[in-house]
Amino acid sequence: MSKSIEVRGQPVAGGKEPLICTPLVARDEPSILRELAVVCAKHPDLIEWRVDFFAGIADSARVVALAREIRKQAGSVPIIFTRRSTREGGEPIGIAEEQVLSLYRAVCETGCVDFVDYEINGEPQHFQAARQAAHHAGAQLIASFHDFQQTPPAAEIVAKLVTMEEAGADIAKVAVTPRAIDDVLTLLGATLAGSRQLRLPIISVSMGPYGSLSRLFGWTFGSSVTFAVGDKASAPGQVAIEDLRIVLDILRRSLAAK
């Protein structure tokens, strides 16, 4: 089973397996706040703001102000702040990496976010800068890797997770793309192996139609978080939060009865 994720020393959602995270992907303030209202009404365990979708990302003051408002409206739901790069499936943003890191520092300093996501395949000094920004503000760092072309061999996936742990991440995340149903098994096997080897919580995702299976029962192999659609999807294969909860309830009851 998966490891629990904590915020300020307390397990999120009482340590429930898995945590359900819903994304915010709208492009301006009114649209994001409308999206947030829809998402919050569905009571996710985590909310991820994909700031690379936000048209005002180059304006630090706008981002910080919106982060404060998201925090206010989300109440006690923990928030993940994520800029996804174009090389790993994100939106073009038109600002340099140093500006991205300045944005991370500014948002972290507000205390409005509980986690920041930063890609492990970037420059090592940039990864460490993101880590320092998070930890200085009492937030946690999710190290991430996304492959929209294929599913690497299980050994490579586990090695990537180990690299994240060694780099000082608090949570390790991988998302890969299956070309065939067998690839989903590869991801699940790597998740199980990684969860046994690492001390960190793991988030693993197989994307696309085949990959939706991993979103339903990947937690039984050690993935601590699954992503669901609250209003709009942020990646292929995400299912509606209502449908996901039905399946999770069935699986939890079945496992409890073993």
Give dist(CA 163, CA 45) in Å, integer. 27
Quote the pLDDT of residue 77: 98
Helix (H) or strand (E) holding 191: helix 181-197
Residue 217: C-alpha distances to residues 41, 225, 256 (Å): 24, 11, 15
Q: What is the CA radius of gyration of the chain?
A: 17
Low-confidence stretches of the chain (pLDDT < 50) are none
Burial code (b: 16+ CB inside 10 Å, e: under 16) for 45-58 equals: bbbbbbbbbbebbe
Quote the pLDDT of residue 239: 87
Quote the pLDDT of residue 147: 96
Quote the pLDDT of residue 105: 98
Residue 179: CB atoms within 10 Å: 11
Quote the pLDDT of residue 171: 98
Catalytically active residues, by annotation: 146, 173
Residue 59: CB atoms within 10 Å: 14
% of the chain surpassing 70 pLDDT: 97
Quote the pLDDT of residue 63: 98
120 touches 160 (CB < 8 A): yes
Quote the pLDDT of residue 236: 64
Quote the pLDDT of residue 233: 62
Quote the pLDDT of residue 257: 78
Give dist(CA 172, CA 161) in Å, integer. 6
Residue with token string 């959602």: 13
Give dist(CA 157, CA 135) in Å, integer. 26
